[in-house]
Amino acid sequence: MTTPSDLLARQLGADAARPLFTFYDDATGERVELSVATTANWVAKTANFLVDEHGIDVGDVIAIRLPLHWQTAVLLLAGWSAGARIGFDDGPAAVTFVSNDVTATGEVIHLSLAAMGGDFSRLVAASPDAFAAVSPSGDDVVGSAPIDLPHGARVLTMLPYDVAAGLGYGLVAPLAVDGSVVMVRNPKLAGLAERAEVERVTHTLGVDVAGVPRLDG
């Protein structure tokens, strides 16, 4: 079965320089763009961090209770690379990632989601740049994802990854079709049509933009 790690590796071999994730936060004016190669580097460092610093093993649960963000996408891909299962609630987990305004029990890592990576970068900076995914997980996620996008689709999403459509259309499906994702947090709706045009968006998720097909109806 195909895993998200397989999909990312395939894209890395095909066109490592092209954009994969473009993130906007309209409350702060932040814009971050990650190429396939940059994403893969973040994923490798984070997977090594999970294994080396937190002892994550195949089948362990990692809880990710974060809003839509490029760091959330990296954590998901890193967790699957390490062979972990992903949880989105407050159930038992080997380690839980939360934003600063969320409380959790057990082994918890708070992320500020600061601009340009901030504390996330400091967290994983010392970890190696390469990770060998021996028993990656997530094949069930790929198997259930709606892989019906056209080749190279560019999806503008406002849906978090703990929603099925957000995870499927906002992460897995674009990976599967050599596509890309534009994430918008704290959106200013008045400027979305212009942004969709500038970013060459082909589909939307969680919001209507005139003339652009919406994937979640």
Output the pTM of the full model: 0.96
Can you give the pLDDT at residue 29?
92
Annotated domain spans of the chain: 4-205
4-205 CATH fold: Rossmann fold (3.40.50)
Residue 116: pLDDT band with limits 50, 70, 90: low
Whole-number Å distance between alpha carbons of 97 and 85: 14
The string of pLDDT tens digits covering residues 138-196 is 999 999 999 899 999 999 999 999 999 999 999 999 999 999 999 999 999 899 999 99
* 217 pLDDT above the threshold of 70: yes
pLDDT beyond 90 at 56: yes
Cα–Cα dist 24/82, whole Å: 28
Q: Tokens 């984070």 appear where?
A: 46
45-54 pLDDT per residue, tens: 999 999 999 9
How far apart CA 31 and CA 53 sit, in angstroms, is 30
